Each structure stands twice: as structure tokens, then as C-alpha cells.
Amino acid sequence: MPARHLLPCLLLAVSTLAQANDQDNSTVRLDTSLEDPYQLVVDGELSGSSVTVLECIFNRLQRPYQIQLTSLSRARQNVSRRIADGFFSSAPDSQVDGYAQLSAPLLMEKWYWYAQDPLILNKPIWDRELRIGSVLGSNSMTWLEARGIAVAQKVPRLEQLIELLQRGRIDLFLADDNAMRSALSEQPPQQALQRRFVRYSPLGVYFSHDFLQHHPDFLSAFNRQVEHCAPESSALTEAEAHYLRQLTAQHLKRWAYHDELLNALRQVAARNTSMERINELDRQWLRELLLEEKPLIRRLLQTPPSRLLANIARQHPPVQ
């Protein structure tokens, strides 16, 4: 290449690398809302358990970031409009999935139904006579409405929900255990509320598809740091363990009696396959696990029962 052409090419290459480096190290804007103990202001500084985990992650990534405080609904809106790169702390939300992708869980919430009357907790939540309350724009409200559960009262703060319940204006509400502990600690002692465990809900950061398109390696790098920065999960209480055992038993019973599986078992029984043949197929399966060619495994995985079980596994992934 002639020398007169070499310098402009070198300058172009240096400029392109500099722009890419600037883009990779650009400040990440995250929006959030106040929710004690996950996001709260202490002595004029934003703090909380989610904020602490994020600080650890971005320090390990050596990536600048800034947090803007707003409402959760506005945070979602800012991400959808590409004003912010992401928002937290959010539970999985099918509507947000259309314009953003959720990170690995930073923290895990424990959701409970709270009521004054223990009998209320045994009523079906789709009962139209139940007066259910919720915090506007909260993760729990999104979850309820996505399942068609009517919310009668919507208020800006959890403390207001507790007051409505104590005054008999609502029958029950759904809230996170840690958030409730924080809210109750700020109130004078009252009659203990009744509660029933509902579910675990992972909390993460939703990053916009636009941001991830411009930074394709960011989310995988972010998620790798979560395991170093997120706190260990707390142990299950006896009530939670009992509920999860009941829920698991219900699901297993329902799946075990699925028509697709029962029909497959009847067909196999009708063949009267010998134990010797069964053992031979089992040995072949084990051999194919070590080989590149897997004719038996591929054939069996394409059968209707296998596809059914694979679909169940996708719908019920393990909580990380």
C-alpha cells in the first residue's frame, strides 16, 4: 500500500477503536423507585439491598452507571422509550419482555397474602366479593392483574395498604415479606396480621433490547457477576416448605394423569416388551450419551410424551 494511503487508514482504525471503547464504557442509566428495603434513601443517599448488589456488580465490571429515582411505572416507560437503559428491581413481566430482557435474579422476594381474618386466606382469590388491595405499579399488582385477579383498591404506598386493611376497607393484599417487615417497623404496635405464603419472586434488572443490541456482551458479563454479589438465599420456613410440597404434589398428580402420558403407557404395556429388551434399550441409551450419533435418543425425544415433558420443563424452570 502506498505510504500516502497508510496514514488515513491508521487514523480511521484508531478512531473506530476509540469509538467502540467509548461505547463499551459509556455510563449505564438505570431507573428505579423507592421500595424499602430494596431501594431507599438514607441521609440523602440512595441505598438498599438491590442498590448494594448493583454497586458490587458494576464495580467488578469496572463500568460507570447512574441511578435515577422515579416511580416504577415511569421507570418502565423510560426504558420502553429508550430514555433509560434499564430499570430495577423487577419481577418477570410478560409485557416488559416485549422491549427489555431480565437479568439473573439479584434478590428473591417472598410473597404472602395478608389479612386480619384467617378465614379470608382460605377463600379463592378469584372470588369477586373479595376486596383486594395493591400498591400502584408494584410487581405484585402486575402479577395479580396478569392473572385476571381484580384489584379493588390501589394506593401509592404499602403503609397505606396496611392502614386500609386495619380499617376494614379491604380484605387482604399481596406483599413481600421483607417489605412488610420494613413497613410494620415504622408503625405503632397493632394486632398481628394473618398471612399465607404464596410464591417466590425473583428480582432483577430489565435492560432494554436497544441497549443490549448496542452492547451484545453486556448482559452475559453482568449475569456472571451476580453470583459473586447477590446474597445467599434464606432458608425455607416450615410453612413455606409445606406449601411448596403441596404445590409440587398437585402438579405431579396433574401431569401424571395427562392423557398423552397415559396413552403412551397403555401402548407400551400392550407390546408386552420383555425385561431383556428393556435392559438392552437402556444400555443403548447409555452408550449413545457418549457418542455423536444418537438415533435412539433422538427418536424417543421426538415422541409426543417426550415433547409434553419438555414443554412442562420449559414452563416450570428451576429458581436460580
Q: How far apart are CA 315 and CA 307, in angstroms?
A: 12
Q: What's the domain range around 50?
A: 14-106+203-229
**C-alpha cell of residue 49:** 439491598
| Residues 56 and 93 occupy one common structural domain | yes
Query: Which amino acid, residue 230?
Result: A
pTM: 0.69
Angle between helices 218-229 and 49-61 (to 10 degrees): 120
Q: What is the pLDDT along the chain (320 residues), one digit of tens a residue?
A: 554 544 444 334 434 333 444 456 799 999 999 999 999 999 889 999 999 999 999 999 999 999 999 998 899 999 999 999 999 999 999 999 999 999 999 999 999 999 999 999 989 888 889 999 999 989 999 999 999 999 999 999 999 999 999 999 999 999 999 999 999 987 777 778 999 999 889 999 999 999 999 999 999 999 999 989 999 866 667 777 777 787 788 778 888 888 888 888 888 888 888 899 999 999 999 998 999 899 999 999 999 889 888 888 877 666 54
Residue 190 is given by DSSP the state -
Q: Could you tell me if 219 and 78 lie in one domain?
A: yes
Residue 63 lies in a domain: yes
Q: In which residue are the cell numbers 413455606 written?
A: 240
Contact indicator for 114, 165 with CB cutoff of 8 Å: yes
Residue 297, burial from CB neighbour count under 10 angstroms (0-12, 13-18, 19+): middle
d(CA 140, CA 93): 10
Q: Are residues 81 and 218 in the same domain?
A: yes
In a domain, 240, yes or no: no
* DSSP helix/strand/coil, 286: helix
CB-CB neighbours of 20 under 10 Å? 10
Distance of alpha carbon 223 from alpha carbon 240, whole angstroms: 28
Residue 244 forms part of a structural domain: no
